[in-house]
Structure formats: C-alpha cells, structure tokens
Structure 1
C-alpha cells in the first residue's frame, strides 16, 4: 500500500550466498531513488538475531514512485524493489470514516486497504464525471492567435497562472482572462487573442458533491472491496449487475453506479 508523505518507510533486505543461504555481508548499502531521480542512502543495520537480514529507515519527502536498490559484498548479492508515496492530501470522494462505515468495518486494522480502494474508487468515478475532489492541474497549449482555449478538466474553480511553457515567465495576467466554469473555455476579457506555447495552471473540481456522485462512489467502493476479498456474493441491496464491460474499466464498475453518475457524465470524447 502507498505510504503517507512524511511517514517512515522501513526497508528490509536479505543477503543470501550463491546457495540461497542467509549470510552476513562485509558491506551493505541501500539506495533509494526518488521520483525526481535524486538518490539517498539511509543507514543500514543488520538484524542482531538473524544473520543476513538487513533494514534501513527512510523518511519520505516526495510523493510518487520510489525505487530501492540493495547491494551487498562478501558475498555479492543484490535486490531491487519499489514503493509509492501518496501526495500530501490524496483526493478521495469519501472520507476514511465514511468508507469504513459503508463497508461495516468496526476495526481500523484494514484502514490501509480501505484507503487504497477508496482512492481507486475516486479515480473510477472521475473517469465518468470529471474532477470531483478539488485540486490543481497543469496543462500546455500551443496557440497561434487563438480567440479562446478550452481547458481539459471541468468544472473549473479558478485559473491560477498562465506562463510560457518555454521560459516560465508570466505570459498573461489571470485577471485579464475569463474562464467558463462549466466548459473550461478561457478568453481574454478585452476580446484579444491568445498566442504562444502556454502552460495553464488551474483548480478544478466541485465545492459541493451531489448525492448521486457520493452514492455512486459508495457502490463502486463496496464492489471493489468485496471483489478483492474473493466474496462472490451479491452486493448489499442487489446483485452484481455487470452485464457489459465498461470501456477502459472492464467490469470494475457496477451498472447501477453508472446510472447514478449518468446525469453528471462527461460528453463523449471528453477526458
């Protein structure tokens, strides 16, 4: 499961000789490669009770995929792994408490799995209706004397910056631009034209989440939770209703969830 940003990840590696037997090494080094390709080498200690078992603690500082590379000498051995770090506020439609309550979970021992499937549920819902949880997006547009540009994700809450994608300098003052919340269309207030390779930074999502979207998220979460646990029984209040695969999602989303999301569904061809 992904780690929270700022959490400590305990890295564990086993040094084995060519026969596959655990063995103490002369040297042991673990290298963590961050998403930005920088590297760190946390201090390594050997388990005092079991020769050949090593560990290192790394405090996460950057969200994204990390790679881990263990290298031992005397005997020569190596091991590679990965782990993921969530962004500071991972977007989820349902709170952890709401998700746990809907799944009828009293204990918190499965919170890691619940959070994982809750995040996956949000991505599935947003596949159909666009951004729900408000967050920042950045995209580039190459414009040649254009009257308008249409941002990819709606509803747009605010346009925060328009910079040159080549130099990083401010290209347009956002106060001089008007953005249509529902369509994502950006035009100059004065009616002028837009030009250049521009990087648009904006926030999109919903300040109020309609009940049908929340209900759809609950159904999808329950379905994914029961499926990954090997439960082949029906969902609460109805059957699996998976008569047709969903483009891009297969059978991950029950049809009744899609029906709930239909009124907010993106037009065909809109990502």
Structure 2
C-alpha cells in the first residue's frame, strides 16, 4: 500500500507520456515522509521500540497503531505479558491491561505495526496528489502558462512554519489526521 502511485501523480499532473516517469517517481517517493511528519505513519510498517513506565498505561511512540505483536520485558525475570491480555487504543497508541492492573517490571520491547491498516483515506491521497503537483510546479520555472498566480501554490510565497514545501490547501486536507500535540 502506498500513499500515492506514479499513475495517480501523472493523472493529477495531466501527464500521459513516460518522459518524466523517473523524475516524477522521485517526487512520489518523497511525499510520504512529508505527509507522515504531520499525520504519523500512513504506510504500515513494523516498529520495535523500548517502552518504559509504570502505572495503568504504556504509550507507543508511532501512531496510529494497527496491531500489537508483542510486549516483552527487557529485564531478566520481568513479567511476560500475552498480547491477548492487553488492549490497545489504536488511534492514540495507549496500551492497557484487560484486568486493569498496573504495569510494573519494565522496560519492555514493544513490537507493533504502525500506520493505517488499509488503503490510505481518500483525503490523504488527495493531499499527496496536491503536494506532488505543488512540488512539480517548483521545477517548472516562472512564467509557465497556466501555473502562475499568487495562491498557496505560488513557490515564492512560503506558508508560515512550513516554508515553501507544503501549501495551505494540503495542510488543510491533513488537519483531520494531524498528530496530537507532543507526538512526533
């Protein structure tokens, strides 16, 4: 599963030849990291991280979470927890024990899948299309027919906090999927 395919990018740019495919593929490949910086993992990936803490919950760093594979103690003699005895708040990456008991005896090695479990939401796909379109415009140069104007695609007008790379309309599409404060 990819955020955007080469064919989708070509359709967004109204390109019908293979002349620019290699160059355009580099743009397609680069936008996933830019979108994921703002919304978290889009494409599913396996993550292994050390999770520390005591209390009723543990927090995973990369959200959303598709599934938890294992939670293994890193200290000799630590309590091994069966994932069937754990509940994961997938949207927020919070792990709780089914029994409500607190976690103790950590730190743990958490292995899980982060990202989205199926095809990316259409809004994220559209944001990816529009981001490729914006980046493609930056290499076309000034004075190109049909590409001018002082809108948020104008490569000379930075978006506050994001420089020139991400236009306002893309940020607005990403907003419903934005990571909560403090999550990176």
- What range is the shorter-chain TM-score in? 0.7 to 0.9
Shift of 1:230: 4.2
User: Which has more strand, going by share of residues?
Assistant: 1
Residue in 1 aligned with 2:92? 183
Shift of 1:235: 7.0
Equivalences for residues 8-23 of structure 1 within 5 A: none
Maintained 8 Å contact 2:152/2:168: no
Residue in 2 aligned with 1:148? 57
User: Which has more helix, going by share of residues?
Assistant: 2
Structure 1 residues 199, 111: closer, same or farther in 2, change over 3 A? farther
- In structure 2, which of residues 165, 171, 174 is the aligned counterpart of residue 258 of structure 1? 171
Shift of 1:264: 1.9
3-state SS of paired residue (2:183): coil
Shift of 1:112: 2.9
Once superposed, what is the RMSD of the aligned Cα atoms? 2.6
Maintained 8 Å contact 1:223/1:235: no
| 1:126 corresponds to 2:39 | no
Shift of 1:116: 2.0
Q: Deviating runs (4+, > 4 A) in structure 1?
A: none
Larger Cα-atom Rg: 1
Q: TM-score, normalised by structure 1?
A: 0.57
Alpha-carbon distance in structure 1 between the residues aligned to 2:6 and 2:177: 24
3-state SS of paired residue (2:47): strand
Q: TM-score, normalised by structure 2?
A: 0.81
Q: Which runs of 5+ in 1 are unaligned?
A: 1-90
Equivalences for residues 1-271 of structure 1 within 5 A: 92-143=2-53, 145-165=54-74, 171-194=80-103, 195-206=105-116, 207-227=118-138, 229-232=139-142, 233=144, 234=147, 240=153, 242-246=157-161, 249-271=162-184
Alpha-carbon distance in structure 1 between the residues aligned to 2:19 and 2:158: 34
For each residue in 1:107-127, what CA deviation from the matched residue of structure 2 results, as whole angstroms up to 9, or x when unmatched? 334333222211211111111
Q: How many equivalent pairs are there?
A: 175
Q: Which has the higher contact order (CA 8 A, sep 6+)?
A: 2
Structure 1 residues 239, 154: closer, same or farther in 2, change over 3 A? closer
Maintained 8 Å contact 2:31/2:128: yes
